[in-house]
Amino acid sequence: MNMKFIYQTWWKVIAVLLVLSTFYTGLLFKAPRLPIIHETIRNLYFHVPMWMGMLTVFVVSVYFSIKYLRHGREEDDLASVECVNTGLLFYSLGLLTGMLWAKYTWGEFWSGDPKQNSAAIAFLLYCAYLVLRNSIDEEQKRAKISAIYNIFAFPVMVVLIFVLPRLTDSLHPGSGGNPAFGKYDLDNGMKIAFYPAMLGWSFIALWIATIRYRIRLIENKRNAIN
């Protein structure tokens, strides 16, 4: 992810086309008639891709945090924090779509399921990252400490969301011995919508992060002039 990639348009066009195709195939193509969840399985095309978009920009944020610690460039710090901000947006969308799905399948928005609780803890972990940044006035110190925090926060988040729930009993598919959709129920019709959605929303997340990054660069230059 460099300046040349940011200003290219081909990947943005692909992102829009993939997401639009997902709305068409995801809402109109046939989905498996499963007990309890019925048509709500179509939320899979939106809920899981939100997490994938979140993971994509969080990985990029760690990359730029490492770059900042190596080179100390302000641009790398800005790219890292804007990727985290974008990741929290997609994190929130992942939580909301998951809560909506839980209401129709488990009977309530928040049932205290281990995966829900772990996701909430990981969300607060990244919110603490933003609080930490805002609590430090000195720019270089703020960038360095937040970069270190971000590098360690990412693996903790992965453990909380993808590892610990698999070790306990859980209602969530793919956790606690409960099989994931992909193992039995993700038929070819759903794959046509699901995989493009994963890629498309990941590109959309990167696009939003690059826009936020460029806005921050303009604001910093304007502040420097004033």
Would you say residue 17 lies in a domain?
Answer: no
Would you say residue 8 lies in a domain?
Answer: no
Range with the lowest mean pLDDT among 2-6, 8-12, 83-87, 123-127?
Answer: 2-6
Q: What share of the chain is helix, strand, coil (3-state, %, to 5)?
A: 80, 0, 20
Computed over every residue of the chain, the mean pLDDT equals 83
CB within 8 Å of 1: residues ≥ 6 apart: 60, 63, 64, 79, 206, 210
Instruction: Give residue 4's pLDDT band: very low, low, confident or very high (50, 70, 90).
Output: low
pLDDT at 131: 94
- The residue to which tokens 């995966």 are assigned: 115
Would you say residue 12 lies in a domain?
Answer: no
pLDDT at 146: 95
Residue, of 87 and 165, whose pLDDT is higher: 87
Would you say residue 15 lies in a domain?
Answer: no
Q: Contact, 136 vs 77, CB < 8 A? A: no
Would you say residue 41 lies in a domain?
Answer: no
Evaluate if residue 85 carries a pLDDT over 90. yes
Would you say residue 9 lies in a domain?
Answer: no
Instruction: Give residue 180's pLDDT band: very low, low, confident or very high (50, 70, 90).
Output: low
Q: What value does the mean pLDDT take over residues 74-96?
A: 94
Evaluate if residue 177 carries a pLDDT over 80. no
Q: What value does the mean pLDDT take over residues 186-214?
A: 85
Neighbours of 87 (CB within 10 A): 25
Evaluate if residue 185 carries a pLDDT over 60. no
Would you say residue 39 lies in a domain?
Answer: no
pLDDT at 1: 55
Buried/exposed code over 185-221 (b: 16+ C-beta within 10 A; e: otherwise): bbeeebeebbebbbbbbbbbbbbbbbebbeebeeeee
Instruction: Give residue 111's pLDDT band: very low, low, confident or very high (50, 70, 90).
Output: confident
Structural domain that includes position 169 = 46-221
Report the number of distinct structural domains present in the chain. Answer: 1
Q: What percent of the chain has pLDDT over 90?
A: 43
Q: Give per-residue pLDDT as tens, 8-54.
A: 778 888 889 988 888 877 777 666 665 555 667 777 888 889 999 99
- The residue to which tokens 């230059």 are assigned: 221
Would you say residue 187 lies in a domain?
Answer: yes
pTM: 0.85
Q: What value does the mean pLDDT take over residues 125-145?
A: 92
Buried/exposed code over 148-167 (b: 16+ C-beta within 10 A; e: otherwise): ebbbebbeebeebbbebbee
Q: Contact, 85 vs 164, CB < 8 A? A: no
Evaluate if residue 5 carries a pLDDT over 90. no
Can you give the length of the chain in residues?
226
Evaluate if residue 184 carries a pLDDT over 70. no
